[in-house]
Amino acid sequence: MRRILTIGIGAGDPRQLTLQAIDALNQAEVVFIVEKGEEKRELADLRRAICARHVARPQRTVELDEPRRDREAAAYGDAVHEWRSARADLWANAIHRELGEDGTGAFLVWGDPAFYDSTIAILDELLERHATSFTYEVIPGISAIQILAARHRIALNRIGGAIHVTTGRRLAAEGIPVGVDDVVVMLDAHCAFTAFAAEPFDLYWGAYLGTPDELLRAGPVGAVADEVVQLRADARARKGWIMDTYLLRRRVPATTPG
Ligand SMILES: C[S@@+](CC[C@H](N)C(=O)[O-])C[C@H]1O[C@@H](n2cnc3c(N)ncnc32)[C@H](O)[C@@H]1O
């Protein structure tokens, strides 16, 4: 039976691969790299550099181009459906074509496969809907969320508290749910934190975490929001892409003893 390893590779620093991830990487004869357009080429290159650094066996890399998605289509649901099934076909064919009956292949996942990554969902879809069979395992990685906390030297929760993880789009559309004090935000192209500038929140922001281009800023949202917006725009223009993550933390008044 073919075997697929879904390996979390950390979010930018090749030293953040776990020993388990390196071990898994070295079991794969083929590494599948999903290409997501020119601006993400740097990330695909980083994945290749990680293999070169940690792999001590003959190994092939196979690039899978993401099918083009028709974002202008009138029937949005149909377009997404078509795109997903084109992508599933591509992956199923590649697994069959590139791996022998008992071969092992790996998908390298940015950060940790548990956070905003579709690899597990696609593999499940292949097993459910396509005439294909393989076993798969998931090897965790260090997420951008953890790097953010480490670089700012903070814990994400307060004592016994909850952490809410969401996207920029949801934060902008829904705000912060009642009772939530600590919100981690990923996938925010529009700086949704600016809406909280007049509220008692601190922002802990990081871009290109774990890479030589890393940027960090922290402070009351009202005080740092403009600077972060500018930094973000400049960095994006310079590099052609940006990945940033942040924590919005409600300032809780200190309780007076007694
Ligand atoms: C598609 S999600 C993938 C998250 C990934 N699975 C993880 O665990 O970090 C991409 C988002 O992760 C965050 N991200 C990933 N790598 C990052 C990095 N090196 N620095 C800052 N944010 C990063 C950004 O919010 C980005 O929009």
Q: Is the pLDDT of residue 258 over 60?
A: no
Q: Is the pLDDT of residue 257 over 60?
A: no
Token pair listed for 11:
């979010």
Please choose from 46, 184, 213, 243 the residue to mutate so as to test ligand 1's pocket, defined by most ligand atoms within 8 A of CB: 243
The band of 255, judged by pLDDT with boundaries at 50, 70 and 90, is low
Average pLDDT rounded to a whole number, residues 10-39: 88
Please choose from 142, 187, 232 the residue to mutate so as to test ligand 1's pocket, defined by most ligand atoms within 8 A of CB: 187
Q: Is the pLDDT of residue 23 over 60?
A: yes
The tens digit of pLDDT for each residue in 57-80 reads 888 999 888 777 666 666 666 777
- Residue 185 CA to ligand 1 center (angstroms) comes to 10
The tens digit of pLDDT for each residue in 173-185 reads 999 999 999 999 9
Nearest CA, atom 25, ligand 1: 186
- Residue 102 CA to ligand 1 center (angstroms) comes to 33
The band of 253, judged by pLDDT with boundaries at 50, 70 and 90, is low
**What are residue 108's phi and psi, to 5 degrees?**
-90, 125
% of residues, the chain, pLDDT over 70: 93
- Residue 42 CA to ligand 1 center (angstroms) comes to 14
The per-residue pLDDT of the chain, averaged, comes to 90
Q: Is the pLDDT of residue 170 over 90?
A: yes
Cα-based distances in Å from 1 to 23, 28, 92, 95, 135: 20, 14, 14, 12, 7
Token pair listed for 48:
């290749």
Looking at residue 81, its pLDDT comes to: 76
Within 6 A (CB) of ligand 1 lie 11-12, 110-112, 115-117, 143-144, 186-187, 206-210, 243-245
Q: Is the pLDDT of residue 11 over 80?
A: yes
Under a CB-based contact definition with an 8 Å cutoff, are residues 57 and 26 in contact?
yes
CA dist., res. 238 & res. 175, Å (int): 31
Under a CB-based contact definition with an 8 Å cutoff, are residues 14 and 210 in contact?
no
- Residue 139 CA to ligand 1 center (angstroms) comes to 17
Nearest CA, atom 10, ligand 1: 187
Q: For 54, how many CA atoms within 13 A lie in the half-sphere containing its CB?
A: 25
